[in-house]
């Protein structure tokens, strides 16, 4: 005979079945991890919950240090205002509040107002007593005589100095001082080169075309770029070369802008004229001029590439 297994009977308390099923399906929640103090600075452990702080009672120095910290840290100032707001303390804005008894004996704004301090002491019922004033030790007869002698000597010395200054003539004090050094005299600039000298010391058109066959002057502009200069050439050489278009060398120095740039064994220069017409005349007259036995190669700035 085959024995049949006994049939399962349903639980009499359906609530227990629901509780067991929920306990199986829903895992128990893990306990909440304590918050670290400051993970950004590497402080990953939590604060001790049993730690308590014990601060000293307030005094004028502590309050002044707290005020300095609040003034130097805007975030601390905001946090203090938020804490006062949460504690329902009166806002610190507006008129000056009465000085606390702790701050009366210290150097604090408003603590020197005698009327206000007296009013506060009366309103406090005489509880806050002013600190006793220090009694000065009376001077002896010997100390008093020493002070009088020192004061008499000081007055006598000052009187003698004033009398000596009155007897001394004014011209003597003026002559005793050394005369100021004369201002340095600027050497006069030499006259500019004449067109006759320039034309006699420049390449002819045929010689210039032979030495520089691919030369191009560029579009008219007021700024010229000068190449093929020797290293010892200076801005004064260019000033004398182009100064003939003005009434004097001094005027040319004021109206021309000359910049010399050394490049290895040679040099280049930029010369800015008051107008493009004057720059065109200077280019035509001075092209190929032998400066220190080296012919100049002059082009307009429009012909110079930006990279160069």
Cα–Cα distance for residue pair 270/238, rounded to 1 Å: 10
Residue 285: exposure state from Cβ atoms within 10 A (0-12, 13-18, ≥19): middle
| pLDDT above 80 (res 155) | no
For CA atoms 93, 94, 100, 105, give the dihedral sign: positive
Taking residues 37-65, what's their average pLDDT? 84
Q: What is the DSSP letter of 128?
A: S
Which pLDDT score is estimated for 126?
47
Q: Does residue 82 surpass a pLDDT of 50?
A: yes
Model pTM?
A: 0.40
Residue 236 DSSP one-character state: H
Structure token digits, residue 208: 């210039």
pLDDT of residue 44: 86
Residue 76: pLDDT over 50: yes
Question: In this predicted model, which residue has the larger pLDDT, 140 or 258?
Answer: 258
Above 60 in pLDDT, residue 174? no
**Could you count the other beta carbons within 10 Å of the beta carbon of residue 300?**
20
Question: Dihedral through CA 237, CA 238, CA 241, CA 245, nearest 10?
Answer: -140
User: Which pLDDT score is estimated for 14?
Assistant: 53
Identify whether the C-beta of residue 297 lies closer than 8 Å to the C-beta of residue 228: yes
Q: What is the pLDDT of residue 262?
A: 86
Write the pLDDT tens digit of every residue in 181-201. 776 667 788 899 999 999 999
pLDDT greater than 70 at residue 308: no
| Total residue count of the chain as it appears in this document | 308
- pLDDT tens column, 260-291: 998 888 899 999 999 999 999 999 999 999 99
Say what angle helices 74-86 and 60-72 make with each other, to 10 degrees: 120
Return the beta strands (E) in the chain as ranges: 36-38, 43-46, 223-230, 257-263, 266-272, 290-291, 294-295, 297-300
Which pLDDT does position 8 carry in this prediction? 52
Residue 95 DSSP one-character state: S
pLDDT, mean over the chain: 77
């Amino acid at each position: 005979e085959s024995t049949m297994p006994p049939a399962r009977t349903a639980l009499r308390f359906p609530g227990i079945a629901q509780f067991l099923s929920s306990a199986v399906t829903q895992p128990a929640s893990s306990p909440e991890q304590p918050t670290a103090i400051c993970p950004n600075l590497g402080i990953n452990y939590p604060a001790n919950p049993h730690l308590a702080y014990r601060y000293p009672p307030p005094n004028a120095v502590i309050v002044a240090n707290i005020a300095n910290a609040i003034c130097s840290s805007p975030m601390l100032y905001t946090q203090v205002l938020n804490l006062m707001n949460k504690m329902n303390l009166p806002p610190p804005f507006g008129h000056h509040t009465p000085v606390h008894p702790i701050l009366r004996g210290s150097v604090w704004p408003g603590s020197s107002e005698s009327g206000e301090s007296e009013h506060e002491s009366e309103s406090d019922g005489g509880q806050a007593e002013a600190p006793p004033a220090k009694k000065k030790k009376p001077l002896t007869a010997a100390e008093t005589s020493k002070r009088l002698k020192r004061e008499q000597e000081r007055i006598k010395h000052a009187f003698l100095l004033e009398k000596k200054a009155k007897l001394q003539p004014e011209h003597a004090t003026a002559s005793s001082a050394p005369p100021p050094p004369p201002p340095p005299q600027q050497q006069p600039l030499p006259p500019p080169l004449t067109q006759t000298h320039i034309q006699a010391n420049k390449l002819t058109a045929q010689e210039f075309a032979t030495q520089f066959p691919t030369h191009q002057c560029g579009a008219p502009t007021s700024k010229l770029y000068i190449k093929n200069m020797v290293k010892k050439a200076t801005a004064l050489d260019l000033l004398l070369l182009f100064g003939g278009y003005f009434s004097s060398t001094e005027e040319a120095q004021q109206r021309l802008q000359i910049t010399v740039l050394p490049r290895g064994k040679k040099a280049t220069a930029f010369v800015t004229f008051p107008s493009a017409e004057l720059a065109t005349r200077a280019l035509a007259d001075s092209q190929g001029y032998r400066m220190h036995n080296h012919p100049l190669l002059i082009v307009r700035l429009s012909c110079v590439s930006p990279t160069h």
